Structure 1
Amino acid sequence: MIASKKCQKSTPTHPSCVTSLSAFHLPQEVWTQIFLFLSDEEKGNIRASCKYFKRLIDHPSLWRRSAVVLKRVHSYSAQFWTTLRRRKTSAAVVHKAATRDWELIAARLPWLTAITVEQCPDARALAALRRFGGLRRLVIRSFHCPAGLAGALAPLRALTHLCLCELQRAPRAELIGAVSQLAGLTSLSYHEGDKPISKRTLQGMLARLPHLKQLSLKLGPVYGTLPEDYFSLPATNRDVTSEATVLGRGDPPPSGLGLTRLELLNYMDPMLSPGALVSLSSLQSLTVSYRERAVRPSSCALRTWLCKLPCLTELTVTRGYPLAVYVRLLPASLRRLCLLQLIVGDGDLRDLGKRTPGLQHLHVDPSQGDGADCRSCPPSSQLETSNCARCGSALHLNVTEWEFVGLARFQNLQQLVVLDALPGPSPALLSLIHKLQIQTNYRVQVVHSLALKDPAACFCSQY
Structure 2
Amino acid sequence: MSVLAFHLPEEVWLQVFLLLPDEEKMSIRACCKYFRRLIDRPSLWRNRAVVLKKIRSYNSQFWATLRRRKISTVVVHKAGIREWESIVMSLPWLTAVTIEQCSDEEVLKTLQRFNSLKKLVIRSSQCPSGLASALTPLRQLTHLCLCELQRAPRTELISAVSQLADLNSLFYHEGDKPISKRTFQGMLARLPNLKQLSLKMGPGYGTLPEDYFSLSKTNYSKTGREGLNQNGLGLTRLELLNYMDPMLSPRALEPLMSLQSLTVGYRDRVMEPGRCNLRAWLSKLPCLTELTISRGYPLGVYVHSVPWTLQSLSLLQVFMHPGDLNALGNQTPNLQHLHLDLCSYDGQSGLQELPNLFPKLETLKLRHCYMTELEFVGLAQLEHLRQLVILDAYQGPSPALLKLIQKLQVKTNYRVQVIHTPKARDPTACLCSQY
Retained in 2: the 8 A contact 1:343–1:370? no
- Cα distance in 1 for residues equivalent to 2:32 and 2:337: 40
Aligned residue for 2:364? 386
Aligned residue for 2:32? 50
Please state how far the C-alpha of 1:118 moved relative to its aligned partner: 0.5
Amino acid aligned to 2:138: L
Aligned residue for 2:233? 257
Retained in 1: the 8 A contact 2:294–2:316? yes
Aligned residue for 1:108? 90
Please state how far the C-alpha of 1:417 moved relative to its aligned partner: 1.3
Q: Secondary structure at the match of 1:134?
A: coil
Retained in 2: the 8 A contact 1:341–1:366? yes
- Cα distance in 1 for residues equivalent to 2:5 and 2:103: 49
TM-superposition CA deviations, 1:266-297 (whole Å, max 9, x none): 01111111100000000011000011111111
Amino acid aligned to 2:19: F
Root-mean-square deviation over aligned CA pairs: 1.8
Alignment of 1:28-427 (within 5 A): 28-240=10-222, 251-253=227-229, 255-367=231-343, 371-372=347-348, 373-379=350-356, 380-388=358-366, 390-391=367-368, 397-427=369-399
TM-superposition CA deviations, 1:397-418 (whole Å, max 9, x none): 2111221111111101111111
Retained in 1: the 8 A contact 2:321–2:345? no
For structure 2, list consecutive stretches of 5 or more residues without a partner in the other structure: none
Amino acid aligned to 1:439: K
Retained in 2: the 8 A contact 1:353–1:378? no
* Inter-CA distance 109–309: structure 2 relative to 1 (3 Å threshold): same
Aligned residue for 2:415? 443
TM-superposition CA deviations, 1:435-459 (whole Å, max 9, x none): 2222212222222124211111111
Amino acid aligned to 2:429: A
Q: Secondary structure at the match of 1:346?
A: coil
Please state how far the C-alpha of 1:333 moved relative to its aligned partner: 1.0
Retained in 2: the 8 A contact 1:356–1:381? no
1:459 counterpart (425, 431, 434): 431
Q: Which one is further off, 207-216 or 227-236? A: 227-236
* Inter-CA distance 254–31: structure 2 relative to 1 (3 Å threshold): farther
Please state how far the C-alpha of 1:235 moved relative to its aligned partner: 3.0
Amino acid aligned to 1:451: K
- Cα distance in 2 for residues equivalent to 1:62 and 1:256: 42
Q: Which one is further off, 419-428 or 129-138? A: 419-428
TM-superposition CA deviations, 1:138-160 (whole Å, max 9, x none): 00000111211111111111100
TM-superposition CA deviations, 1:217-274 (whole Å, max 9, x none): 00111232111111111330234578x76xxxxx444530110000000011111111
- Cα distance in 1 for residues equivalent to 2:223 and 2:118: 27
Q: Secondary structure at the match of 1:338?
A: strand
Please state how far the C-alpha of 1:310 moved relative to its aligned partner: 0.5
Amino acid aligned to 2:25: K
* Inter-CA distance 287–367: structure 2 relative to 1 (3 Å threshold): same
TM-superposition CA deviations, 1:189-210 (whole Å, max 9, x none): 0001111111111011111111
Retained in 2: the 8 A contact 1:340–1:364? yes
Amino acid aligned to 2:31: S
Report the TM-score, using the length of structure 2 for normalisation.
0.95
- Cα distance in 2 for residues equivalent to 1:415 and 1:346: 26
Retained in 2: the 8 A contact 1:416–1:444? yes
Retained in 1: the 8 A contact 2:241–2:266? yes
Please state how far the C-alpha of 1:344 moved relative to its aligned partner: 2.5
- Cα distance in 2 for residues equivalent to 1:73 and 1:419: 35
For structure 1, list consecutive stretches of 5 or more residues without a partner in the other structure: 8-15, 19-24, 246-250, 392-396
- Cα distance in 2 for residues equivalent to 1:367 and 1:450: 19
* Inter-CA distance 302–448: structure 2 relative to 1 (3 Å threshold): same
TM-superposition CA deviations, 1:86-109 (whole Å, max 9, x none): 110000001111112111211110
Q: Secondary structure at the match of 2:347?
A: coil
- Cα distance in 1 for residues equivalent to 2:345 and 2:32: 49
* Inter-CA distance 113–189: structure 2 relative to 1 (3 Å threshold): same
Q: Which one is further off, 28-37 or 314-323? A: 28-37
Amino acid aligned to 2:257: S
Question: Is 1:430 the counterpart of 2:407 in the alignment?
Answer: no
- Cα distance in 1 for residues equivalent to 2:34 and 2:363: 36
Report the TM-score, using the length of structure 1 for normalisation.
0.90
